Structure 1
Amino acid sequence: MSNLTTFVPLTKLRPFKDNWRIQVKCLHSWKQNTPFAGDTFEMVLADQWGNKIHATSKRSLMQRIQRVLPIDSWGVIEHVTVTPAGGQYRTTNYKYKMVIAEDAVLSRSDLVDDRVFISLANYEEIENGTKKQAFLIDVIGRIHDLGDVQTVQVSGEDRKRVLFRLVDAEGNNLACCLWGTYAEQLEPFSLNGKDQTIICLIRFAKIKEFRGELQITNAFDATRLFLNAMIPEVSNITQRLSNDDLSVALVPKPSGKKDGKRILYNWNDAEIKTIAEVAEANQTMSQMDPTLLLF
Structure 2
Amino acid sequence: MAMVTNSEITMLNNLKPYKNTWKVEVKVLRSWSQQSNYSGEDTFEFLLEDRMGTEMYCTCKRIFLARVKNLQVGQWKFLENFSVYPAIGMYRLSGHIFKISITQCSIVTNSSLTTCEVPSIDHNKESSSEDLPTSGSKRKEGDTDLNDMNSTSKKLCG
Common fold, TM-score beyond 0.5? Answer: yes
User: Within the alignment, does 1:45 sit opposite 2:82 as a pair?
Assistant: no
Asked whether the equivalents of residues 43 and 55 of structure 1 are also in contact (C-alpha less than 8 Å), the reply is yes
User: Within the alignment, does 1:221 sit opposite 2:146 as a pair?
Assistant: yes
Asked whether the equivalents of residues 46 and 117 of structure 1 are also in contact (C-alpha less than 8 Å), the reply is no
Indicate the SS of the match to 2:33: strand
User: Within the alignment, does 1:54 sit opposite 2:57 as a pair?
Assistant: yes
Give the TM-score taking structure 1 as reference length: 0.41
Look up the match of 2:27. Answer: 25
Deviation for aligned residue 1:105: 1.5
Deviation for aligned residue 1:221: 1.7
Asked whether the equivalents of residues 29 and 47 of structure 2 are also in contact (C-alpha less than 8 Å), the reply is yes
Larger Rg: 1
Matches within 5 A, 1:116-127: 117-120=121-124
Q: For structure 1, list consecutive stretches of 5 or more residues without a partner in the other structure.
A: 123-129, 138-205, 207-215, 224-228, 233-295
Identity of aligned residues (%): 26
Deviation for aligned residue 1:35: 2.8
Write out per-residue CA displacement over residues 3-27 of structure 1, whole angstroms, 9 at most, x where no aligned residue.
Answer: xx93101111111201111111011
Deviation for aligned residue 1:89: 2.5
The one-letter amino acid of 2:32's match is: W
Asked whether the equivalents of residues 69 and 108 of structure 1 are also in contact (C-alpha less than 8 Å), the reply is no
The one-letter amino acid of 1:36's match is: Y
Aligned residues, how many? Answer: 137
The one-letter amino acid of 2:47's match is: V
Indicate the SS of the match to 2:65: helix
Indicate the SS of the match to 1:49: coil
Structure-2 change in CA distance of 1:43 and 1:118 (3 Å)? farther
Structure-2 change in CA distance of 1:121 and 1:90 (3 Å)? farther
Look up the match of 1:108. Answer: 110
* RMSD across aligned positions (CA): 3.0
Match of 2:77 among 69, 75, 87: 75
The one-letter amino acid of 1:42's match is: E
| Distance in 2, Cα, partners of 1:219 & 1:113 | 21
Deviation for aligned residue 1:62: 2.9
Deviation for aligned residue 1:113: 2.7
| Distance in 2, Cα, partners of 1:117 & 1:62 | 29
| Distance in 2, Cα, partners of 1:40 & 1:21 | 22
Indicate the SS of the match to 2:19: coil
User: Within the alignment, does 1:65 sit opposite 2:52 as a pair?
Assistant: no
Look up the match of 2:4. Answer: none
Q: After the TM superposition, which parts of structure 1 deviate over 3 Å for at least 4 consecutive aligned residues?
A: 114-118, 229-232
Structure-2 change in CA distance of 1:135 and 1:50 (3 Å)? closer
| Distance in 2, Cα, partners of 1:222 & 1:86 | 23
| Distance in 2, Cα, partners of 1:32 & 1:95 | 21
| Distance in 2, Cα, partners of 1:34 & 1:27 | 22
Write out per-residue CA displacement over residues 153-211 of structure 1, whole angstroms, 9 at most, x where no aligned residue.
Answer: xxxxxxxxxxxxxxxxxxxxxxxxxxxxxxxxxxxxxxxxxxxxxxxxxxxxx1xxxxx
The one-letter amino acid of 2:42's match is: D
Indicate the SS of the match to 2:146: helix
The one-letter amino acid of 2:61's match is: K
